[in-house]
């Protein structure tokens, strides 16, 4: 459980979302999964009050503005390191939405259900999209530090909470390859069955995915293949040997999600990532799982 999160409130929001989700006839239907993913997002966002970080002061701006070049608040100008080479433009609108989902006052309360899944999806897509330029699905430690800081600064400049690294338990290491032995795109594609991965995960059936796990199983299979590469490399690089197998498989799953996000357009990736993270929330919350599986999977 993440730090600073009120579990009961969190569970409450989860239940509200599950109820909305199930009572709006998306439940166990085979409606277009991306459409239902978007609808679910809207519902999640609707839980936030109808103020966006910049909406409130808007009417006053023309009166207060001495010139269009003067920033109204210093917080709108993020202090960037200049050392991060990620392609932030590729996820501009997602970052805008993340700022709203992680709005300063609400972020700690909506962390696990709204803010952090959105933040995590945005980071994965940022890394995936950037890999199209760099051919790498992970950053090195130094680069990761600068990039996570810049990422957070940009969000804060748009009204997000300035403690998101803590709230969502994101560290620079989450932008690296961790203990996964593969981060190069070519090596990735020569190790896993990429067309099978794309066909299983390129379009997921949002509700049935949680029960049938078509994409999740494909990701697990591919992660195991990537993880096994560590043993090929042992003679060359002892550092990978230090992690245990399940940690390594998990780290490789992150690499796989980034690769998927490099093959799909950002909105499509987002639907999939949010869908998968909803399955995890459902699985993780013991009290929610019975209801979910009985109602949604006819079990
Ligand atoms: C913004 O920054 C300027 C100088 O950097 C400072 O003089 C001003 O007081 C700041 N304004 C706010 C609202 O913090
Ligand atoms: C880390 O990655 C950055 C960007 O790709 C690169 O400029 C830098 O040299 C790398 N540093 C190390 C220590 O490998
Ligand atoms: C977010 O996007 C909307 C619509 O594109 C734009 O009007 C708004 O200024 C953006 N907000 C921020 C904080 O960048
Ligand atoms: C970040 O990495 C830590 C381990 O270093 C892991 O426990 C955590 O789940 C990761 N967070 C995300 C959002 O992937
Ligand atoms: C579902 O909840 C029950 C208790 O209600 C628990 O024993 C079980 O482990 C949970 N299953 C999963 C997959 O979380």
pLDDT tens track for 148-187: 999 999 999 999 999 999 999 999 999 999 999 999 999 9
pLDDT in tens, 45-84: 444 444 444 444 443 333 333 334 333 344 566 788 889 9
Of residues 114 and 14, more confidence is placed in 114
For residues 125 and 257, is the Cβ–Cβ distance under 8 A? no
Atom number in ligand 4 closest to CA 116: 13
Please state the φ and ψ torsions of residue 236, each to the nearest 5 degrees.
Answer: -85, -40
Euclidean distance between CA atoms 192 and 263, whole angstroms: 14
**What is the pTM for the complete model shown?**
0.70
In the block, tokens 């200049």 appear at: 82
What was the pLDDT predicted at 273?
94
Residue whose CA lies nearest to ligand 1 atom number 4: 74
Dist CA 213 CA 206 (whole Å): 10
pLDDT greater than 50 at residue 28? no
pLDDT of 295 higher than 80: no
**Of 102 and 284, more confident:** 102
Is ligand 4 within 6 A of the CB of residue 169?
A: yes
Q: What pLDDT shows up at residue 21?
A: 40
Q: Is the confidence at residue 42, as pLDDT, over 50? A: no
Please give the distance, rounded to the nearest whole angstrom, from the Cα atom of residue 6 to the centre of ligand 3: 30
Average pLDDT, the chain: 76
State the distance from the centre of ligand 1 to the C-alpha of 159, rounded, in angstroms: 17
Which region among 4-8, 113-117, 126-130 has the lowest average model confidence (pLDDT)? 4-8
Please give the radius of gyration of the chain, using alpha carbons only, rounded to the nearest integer.
Answer: 20
**In b/e form, how buried is each residue of 103-115, taking b as 16+ CB within 10 angstroms?**
beebbbbbbbbbb
pLDDT of 86 > 80? The answer is yes
Helices (H), the chain: 7-23, 33-46, 61-64, 92-101, 107-110, 116-134, 141-157, 164-167, 185-191, 194-201, 206-212, 214-233, 245-263, 266-284, 286-297
Distance in Å, CA 66 to ligand 1 centroid: 15
């Amino acid at each position: 459980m993440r730090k600073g999160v009120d579990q009961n409130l969190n569970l409450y929001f989860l239940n509200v979302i599950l109820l909305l989700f199930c009572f709006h006839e998306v439940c166990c239907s085979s409606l277009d999964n991306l459409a239902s993913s978007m609808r679910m997002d809207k519902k999640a966002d609707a839980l936030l009050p109808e103020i966006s970080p910049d909406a409130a002061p808007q009417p006053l701006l023309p009166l207060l503005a001495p010139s269009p070049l003067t920033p109204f608040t210093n917080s709108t100008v993020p202090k960037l390191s200049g050392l991060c080479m990620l392609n932030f433009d590729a996820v501009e609108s997602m970052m805008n939405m993340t700022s709203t989902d992680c709005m300063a006052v609400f972020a700690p309360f909506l962390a696990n259900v709204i803010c952090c899944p959105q933040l995590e999806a945005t980071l994965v897509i940022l890394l995936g999209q950037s890999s199209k330029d760099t051919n790498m699905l992970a950053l090195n430690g130094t680069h990761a530090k600068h990039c996570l800081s810049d990422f957070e600064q940009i969000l804060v400049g748009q009204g997000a909470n300035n403690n998101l690294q803590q709230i969502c338990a994101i560290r620079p290491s989450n932008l690296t390859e961790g203990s996964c032995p593969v981060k190069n795109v070519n090596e990735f594609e020569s190790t896993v069955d990429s067309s099978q991965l794309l066909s299983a995960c390129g379009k997921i059936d949002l509700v049935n995915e949680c029960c049938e796990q078509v994409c999740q199983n494909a990701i697990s299979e591919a992660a195991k293949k990537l993880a096994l590469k560590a043993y090929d490399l042992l003679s060359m690089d002892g550092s990978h040997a230090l992690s245990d197998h399940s940690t390594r498989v998990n780290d490789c799953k992150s690499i796989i999600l980034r690769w998927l996000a490099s093959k799909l357009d950002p909105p499509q990736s987002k639907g999939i990532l949010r869908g998968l993270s909803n399955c995890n929330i459902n699985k993780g919350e013991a009290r929610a799982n019975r209801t979910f599986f009985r109602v949604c999977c006819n079990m």
